[in-house]
Amino acid sequence: MQLIDGNAIAASIITELKSQVDALPGRRPCLALVRVGEDPASVSYVKKKEKTAADIGIESRIILPPVTISQAALETLIDDLNADPTVDGILVQSPLPKPLNELAVFRRIAAHKDVDGFHTLNLGKIAQEDDTGFVACTPAGVMELLARSGTDLNGKHVVVLGRSLIVGKPVALLALQKKAGANGTVTICHSGTTDLPAITRLADVLIAAIGRPEFVKSHMVKPGCVIIDVGINRVPDATKKTGYKLVGDVDFAGVSPLVSKITPVPGGVGPMTVCMLMQNTLKARRLSAR
């Protein structure tokens, strides 16, 4: 069994991105990070993004509107960032506190600054196999992990568990693209799927993104398959200082002896997501320079 080491792959991508940013003419790429409220997970995600940006040489502009900001004022803030020629990418940290309408805020971000890849136009470009858009960071990270671990999807049966707009659907579309490294035969499963284990057992490559701790058990996988575990779930663990541990959507201990390659949680897909955000910001800077 080969462990697909997301930390090591992310570290080499960060080095590559840094040399590309160093070689850019003109100003450095700039990423605006908007965080509303003090949700502890959001605070730590934004810090991580700020640090990775600094490591690469990307400028980050942290914007912390008050938790009481109105929908209209937040949308005006996004409009201002859209119009600012010194800002290349905009990220609004999810989740936004209630009663803010997150989807409306995401949709307000101009497609050419949508480095999170949530804009309708950018999702549509994946379907059209048009590389000028931004691919959402987690699906892009999954594809990068597959490529860099030598997993070619051509001719393979790829089963995606989950159909969310930020992971399941885009990753399924990417795996399906008629391109080198992709060209998979794709099945998407969700909570309405009947006899899920019968389908997952047919997978040469299984991508799990359902948010159910250790849901995929050994009887659900084909021996020798490749598993990408996107899930990040907190489960109680009294032995940890925090009182919880992180586990994926796959029962790693039970499944890993059977498979040819697998990502761990943590240390698999997670570190790739931030890298892909930086890659998208660099792409936005290059597009804005044209």
Active site residue 71: no
**Token output for 136:** 């959402």
- Helix, strand, coil fractions of the chain, as percent rounded to 5: 40, 15, 45
- In the three-class reduction of DSSP (H, G, I as helix; E, B as strand; rest coil), residue 275 is classed as helix
Q: How far is the CB of 155 from ligand NDP (least distance, A)?
A: 26
Place of tokens 């799990």: 208
Q: How far apart are CA 47 and CA 269, in angstroms?
A: 18
Restricted to residues 206-235, the positions that interact with ligand NDP (CB under 6 A) are 209-212, 230-233
Q: How far is the CB of 108 from ligand NDP (least distance, A)?
A: 21
Q: Decide if residue 37 touches ligand NDP (CB under 6 A).
A: no
Catalytic position from the list 49, 113, 156, 169: 49
Q: Decide if residue 164 touches ligand NDP (CB under 6 A).
A: yes
Q: How far apart are CA 108 and CA 104, in angstroms?
A: 6
Q: Which residue number, 209 or 259, has a Cβ lying nearer to ligand NDP? A: 209
Phi, psi angle pair for 42, to nearest 5°:
-65, -40
Instruction: Report the Cα 272 to chain-centroid distance in Å.
Output: 7
Nearest one of 7, 10, 9, 27 to 282, comparing CA atoms: 27
Q: Which residue number, 25 or 236, has a Cβ lying nearer to ligand NDP? A: 236
- Binding residue (CB under 6 A) for ligand NDP from 56, 175, 189, 282: 189
Catalytic position from the list 88, 116, 249, 251: 116
Q: How far apart are CA 86 and CA 78, in angstroms?
A: 14
The continuous run of DSSP H or E covering 76 comes out as helix 71-83
Q: Decide if residue 117 touches ligand NDP (CB under 6 A).
A: no
Restricted to residues 232-261, the positions that interact with ligand NDP (CB under 6 A) are 232-233
Q: Which residue number, 49 or 77, has a Cβ lying nearer to ligand NDP? A: 49
Q: Taking a C-beta distance cutoff of 8 angstroms, is the pair 160, 175 a contact?
A: yes
Q: How far apart are CA 104 and CA 71, in angstroms?
A: 9
Phi-psi region of 125 (alpha: psi -120 to 50; beta: other; left: phi over 0): alpha
Q: How far apart are CA 255 and CA 249, in angstroms?
A: 11
Active site residue 116: yes
Catalytic position from the list 88, 93, 125, 156: 93
Q: How far is the CB of 86 from ligand NDP (least distance, A)?
A: 28
Q: How far apart are CA 50 and CA 60, in angstroms?
A: 6
- Binding residue (CB under 6 A) for ligand NDP from 270, 280, 283, 285: 270
Active site residue 80: no
Q: Decide if residue 136 touches ligand NDP (CB under 6 A).
A: no
Which residue in the shown chain puts its C-beta closest to ligand NDP? 164
Q: Decide if residue 192 touches ligand NDP (CB under 6 A).
A: yes
- Binding residue (CB under 6 A) for ligand NDP from 68, 191, 194, 239: 191
**What residues are annotated to the active site?**
49, 93, 116
- Residues in the site for ligand NDP, rule: CB under 6 A? 138, 161-164, 166-168, 189-193, 196, 209-212, 230-233, 269-270, 273
